[in-house]
Structure 1
Amino acid sequence: MWDVKNSRASGKSVEAQKINLAVDKIRVEVNRRYQELMQTDGYVTAAKLKDAYLGIGVKQETLLKLFEQHNAEFEKKVGHSRAQGTFTRYRTVCNHIREFLPHTYRREDIPLKELNLTFINDFEYFLRTEKKCRTNTVWGYMIVLKHIVSIARNDGRLPFNPFAGYINSPESVDRGYLTQTEIQTLMDAPMKNATHELVRDLFVFSVFTGLAYSDVKNLTVDRLQTFFDGNLWIITRRKKTNTESNIRLLDVPKRIIEKYKGLARDGHVFPVPSNGSCNKILKDIGRQCGFKVRLTYHVARHTNATTVLLSHGVPIETVSRLLGHTNIKTTQIYAKITAQKISQDMETLSHKLEDMEKNICRAI
């Protein structure tokens, strides 16, 4: 018998209980679909609710599908307007999510509309515990996920922000740089062989230009141009960010270019060894020189920003442009105010305030 008033099967028989259990499941699912429609469209009709429940005309947007679609489009731009390293980071985060979903949620994918703050925090916990990621790595990976979510939000596929209320920040890291004395020590140190000397010279070239390894490796002769001021400049774009980076060549980098002129192929300026070989040799050279800082091309760029530019009075806005940064906050991470620079600035200030201080001191 059917209880019309309560919309349930009457009685306590096994058959009635099965029917009522099925009815309850349907009711829960219909209510969930109702709430989804209200969130996305702001109104519900019987026809829309029926179609949503039956899956008619409803395209289920999921996180991994969106991520994979994004990565496929991004990969086409690698080598043109996007860098391989950035693509690798997106692919890594996508793979981590592919592992995270069955590990934590026992599912292969998740609808975008089911994303929430709990999901975001669970993924962060997974990165820290299961993948053993450090704080700054986690921070970088969460930025990637946030970007993917923002794509869905911007095109209307996700009407809310799952990251609302999420708090995460990177740890401050001492980037490391060489002092002027250490740069001279590096240049005076005898090199084991010609390859070590080449790698040392390329590092110093980066110190005086701020170019990253990939930009030094890809630097071609046609990028060396006499600019409007009559000086020789590097006119290029950073591979990582595709931002314009025009750098006037000082005497040291010009001397290094001349030293290796004609030794590279395909119009390149330098015969640059692989990144792995350079890092290995730089580590050996740093140990030979007794440096506490491990030599890398990142250290070369930090040295350029700090020791070469900022410590000699170049404004941080100019430093940012020379390094090809898209955001001055990035430059502030690279560039450190040295004690020597503070001392010089305070000495300059002391001379400027000399008369004012004399008058005040008389009144004390």
Structure 2
Amino acid sequence: MQAAERAAAPNTLAAYQADLESCTHSLALAGQSLRTAGTEDLRGWLADLSAQGQSRRTVARRLSCIRQFYLFLLREGLRADNPAEHLDSPRAEQSLPRFLSESEVLALLDACEEPEGASAAKTRRALVGRAALELLYASGLRISELLALPRQALAGDQRMLSVRGKGGRERLVPLSDSARLAAQALVAADAGLGSPYLFPGRDPQRAMTRQAFDRILHDIGRKAGLEPERLSPHVLRHSFATHLLAHGADLRALQMLLGHADIATTQIYTHVQTERLQRAVAEHHPLSTSQTGNSEG
């Protein structure tokens, strides 16, 4: 159902499978199965997850999967109830997205340059890194969306990029001139490969893997002087969103650019707006400490 009706992405399907297997294993230890489990049996599974030290966010996600699973069984007539319906979901931790400063992003882009006379392999690797970073930061793409881009996505003088996101939803994102030129430089360098992908893998008929890109990103980050744990494709996506809001972008527009189905997901970035408003009050309100100090001076 998830694959056929909801067009769930492979990563989503893998996560659902892992969640179901986790529940199955816990229930089996208690002499139960997914088909026969009751509410108390599922509470025992949730307690096991917490005892294993799994985060509240992970526990909440796994419970969501199990709720949907029993709802599916209910609709298919395979069960007469949903034993997960009244289970309380743990409140997720309020964690802000990690992002880079604008100067750090520029340092990353500068680190993509190879010196004159570098080997062909190093030169091409630099082109891959530059094109990927430009697209990730200029358009806020997910890494899965980036690596799935076809070679023809940037053909001609296009100013918009068509992206297929989660659930098969398509959206258009604008392309900056520098991102378009970086991608076109990579296409020209790879003209002889005959790959259908903008970012070909070791086998040109397949897309580059996430692991291969992570290695490239790690090397670029090291050259830029950034700690590896601070850098990931999703951090670049967070940076894109954070910097847009900091420069006055509308939250609804950001939701469309990021491909979020629900604006509640986008609202995590409003911490930027909150900080900006607090700073504006501190700097300009006549009764603020900074203004009082200035008037006394």
Measured against the shorter chain, the TM-score band is 0.7 to 0.9
Describe the superposition over 1:130-160 as per-residue Cα deviations: whole angstroms up to 9, x where unpaired: 5x53332222111111111222344563345
Q: Structure 1 residues 111, 235: CA separation in 2 closer, same or farther (over 3 Å shift)?
A: closer
Q: Does residue 251 of the first structure (1) align with residue 180 of the second (2)? A: no
Contact 1:283/1:294 (8 A) holds in 2: no
Deviations 1:5-35 (A, max 9, x none): xxxxxxxxxxxxxxxxxxxxxxxxxxxxxxx
Identify the residue that residue 285 of structure 1 maps to in structure 2: 220
Indicate how the Cα distance of structure 1 residues 318 and 344 shifts in structure 2: closer, same or farther if over 3 A, else same: farther
Q: For residues 222 and 277 of structure 2, what CA distance do their matches in structure 1 show?
A: 30
Cα offset for 1:246? Answer: 0.7
Aligned-pair distance for 1:221? 4.5
How far the C-alpha of 1:102 sits from its partner, in A, is 2.2
1:294 corresponds in structure 2 to 230
Residue 217 (structure 1) shift: 1.4
Q: What SS is found at the alignment partner of 1:241? A: helix
Q: CA deviation at 1:197?
A: 4.9
* Structure 1 residue 330: Cα displacement: 1.4
Q: Does 1:98 align with 2:24?
A: yes
User: In the alignment, which residue of structure 1 is the partner of 2:288?
Assistant: none
What are the ranges of 5 or more consecutive residues in structure 2 without an aligned counterpart? 115-121, 202-207, 286-297
SS of 2:200 mapped into structure 1: coil
Cα distance, 1:91 vs structure 2? 1.0
Q: 8 Å contact 1:279–1:295 — kept in the other structure?
A: no
Deviation for aligned residue 1:82:
2.2
Q: 1:187 to 1:203 in 2, by over 3 A?
A: closer
User: How does the TM-score come out when normalised to structure 1?
Assistant: 0.64
Of 250, 264, 271 in structure 2, the residue corresponding to residue 329 of structure 1 is 264
Q: Is the 8 A contact 2:150 2:198 kept in 1?
A: yes
Aligned length: 269
Structure 1 equivalent of residue 291 of structure 2: none
Are 1:303 and 2:264 an aligned pair? no
The corresponding residue for 1:139 is 60
- Give, in whole Å, the separation in 2 of the partners of 1:110 and 1:165: 15
**Residues 310-319 or 197-206, more deviating:** 197-206
Q: How far apart, in 1, do the equivalents of 2:135 and 2:55 lie?
A: 32
CA–CA separation in structure 1 for the residues paired with 2:127 and 2:163: 26
- 1:271 lines up with 2:196 in the alignment: no
Please tell me the residue identity of whatever aligns with 2:177: D
| Counterpart Cα distance in 2 of 1:111 and 1:183 | 50
C-alpha distance in 2 between matches for 1:342 and 1:204: 29
Contact (CA 8 Å) 1:305, 1:335: kept in 2 or not? no
Deviation at 1:349, TM superposition (A): 8.3
Change in 2 beyond 3 A, CA 1:346/1:249: farther
Matched, 1:234 2:164: no
Alignment of 1:1-364 (within 5 A): 73-74=1-2, 77=4, 81-103=7-29, 105-107=30-32, 109-112=33-36, 114-116=37-39, 118-130=40-52, 132-154=53-75, 157-159=79-81, 162-189=84-111, 193-194=122-123, 195-224=125-154, 232-238=159-165, 240-262=166-188, 263=190, 265-271=194-200, 273-292=208-227, 294-307=230-243, 309-333=244-268, 336-337=271-272, 341-342=276-277
Supply the AA of the counterpart residue of 2:226. Answer: F
**CA shift at 1:300, angstroms?**
1.3
CA distance in 1, matches of 2:197, 2:84: 47
Bigger RCO (CA 8 Å, 6+ sep): 2
AA at the equivalent of 1:259: A
Moved more, 259-268 or 84-93: 259-268
After TM superposition, give the deviation of residue 165 of structure 1 in Å: 4.8
Query: CA separation in 2, counterparts of 1:305 and 1:288?
Result: 24
Change (3 A) 1:280 1:128: farther
When residues 188 and 110 of structure 1 are mapped into structure 2, their CA distance, relative to the original with a 3 A threshold, is closer
Q: Which moved more, 1:245-254 or 1:262-271?
A: 262-271
Q: What is residue 51 of structure 1 aligned with on the other side?
A: none
Structure 1: gaps of 5 or more residues: 1-72, 351-364
Taking the aligned partners of 1:341 and 1:254, their CA distance within structure 2 comes to: 31
TM-score of the aligned structures, taking structure 2 as reference length: 0.76
Closer/same/farther in 2, CA of residues 344 and 209 from structure 1, 3 Å limit: farther
Find the residue that maps to 1:247 and give its secondary structure.
strand
Instruction: Give the aligned partner of residue 118 of structure 2.
Output: none
**1:284-303 deviations in whole A, cap 9, x for unaligned?**
33233233562211111111
**CA distance 1:221–1:347, change in 2 (3 Å):** farther
